[in-house]
Amino acid sequence: MQLLLLGANHRTADISERELLSFTAESAATTLANLLREAGVIEALLISTCNRVEFYTVTEDTRSAEDAIRRVIRDSKGRDVLSDKLGQYRLCGREAVRHLCRVASGLDSMMLGEKQILGQVKEAVSLARHAGSIGPRLERITSAAARAAKRVHEETGIGAGAVSVASAAVALAVKVVGDLTDRRVLVLGAGETGRLVAKHFTKRSPAALVIASRSLSRAEAAAGEFRCRAISLTDADRVLREVDVVVSATSASEYLISADTVRRLMSARENRPLIIIDIAVPRDVDPGAGRLENVFLHDIDALQSFVEKSRDRRRREIPRAESIIDEETDRLMTWFRELSAVPVIRQLREHFERIREHEVAKSLKHFPSGERRQVENLTRSLINKLLHSPTTRLKAIESGGEADMQRITAVRDLFGLDEAACGRDGSDDEE
């Protein structure tokens, strides 16, 4: 079994390319279900955020799995948009595991050290579970990535003063218009990113803050949190005539604001300047709007320059963070190497021998040496007889098929072999 990663991110593809490849939750679930029907694909995970789209597959043949990924992309998008021209990357085995750990830890993010990406990875895992495409290997891999991320943020300063896309968007707005106390702001989107944007704007005390969402109740919930006004997206055009700054962060699959709409609004606004910061992928605002007079449109890629200054201190934490990721990656790869019958048989016997030695030493410390040897021989014989059948059945496992792996994993779990290897075999649990 091998792990294959095929993807593209903000380093390899610009926003116009990434938005072609992006998946909504619904389309991702369908794509995963289709991918699982392809020959050779045993497990699959799809991570689709504003800065990356990555396919992880467990497979017996990485070339077949790559072909399968391209087929489901063509089925979903009408063509293979994940190509060399777009700037794809392809990683296998340990390097794919290590990459996911870096992603979850925020080391591969546009905003170095951001914590929001871990939540997005967990959401992708939850979606894959719902689609039935994730199994024991990817469960273990994603758990290792989450553990690495937790350690990186607890044991290093990589997240100290880290900026998110949301805070960078607000910083850009402040740089363009200055003090916000006499400015009116509209946030399109009441999801996690939209709420973060509103939270950062609230700290700047704008003259007015409005949150818009397709779901008015969702907008009202966010507005209640930040004590501002809520509207439905259908009323956004009217509010756009009044505001000075717009930040858009929805999950819409097509433009919410067209260039023609902005042209009409600018006429109604008597051409007062309008700053639009579109951090959605796919984009919410037609790029053509940015060519209109007094319209200053910025997309998510434009935020890069606003985070460079704050990165220097966090960059110094990268070596320690990378070391943690290597530790967790090595730990996981060791676990995978031990997913064969021989190491499990050895660990199982060592586990029972430790318990036997402990109990004999505790119970027979006052026995004469001759009687103690007899008990030693008896208990060893008993352990051998008890383990004969499990050992025979484990030796019959070929180690490679899904059923074989599940059986080996079950043995490791039932007898706590992973815990025993860490010195927590529970030999003192029962007196």
Residue 153: how many CB atoms within 10 A of its CB? 20
CA separation for the pair 254, 257 (Å, rounded):
9
190 to 51, 109, 195, 226, 256: CA distances (angstroms): 19, 22, 6, 12, 15
Q: Is 9 in contact with 99 (CB distance < 8 Å)?
A: no
Peptide bond into 273 cis (omega under 30): no
- Here the contacts of 22-27 (C-beta below 8 Å, separation 24 or greater) are 22/48, 22/50, 22/53, 22/281, 22/282, 23/48, 23/53, 23/76, 24/251, 24/253, 25/127, 25/251, 27/76
Residue of 50, 92, 228, 422 marked catalytic: 50
Name which of 266, 370, 316, 322 is nearest 108 in CA terms: 322
SS3 3: strand
At residue 274, the 3 state secondary structure works out as strand
Return d(Cα 117, Cα 109) in angstroms, integer: 8
Contact 423, 358 (CB under 8 A): no
Q: Is 50 a residue of the active site? A: yes
- Please give the positions annotated as active site: 50
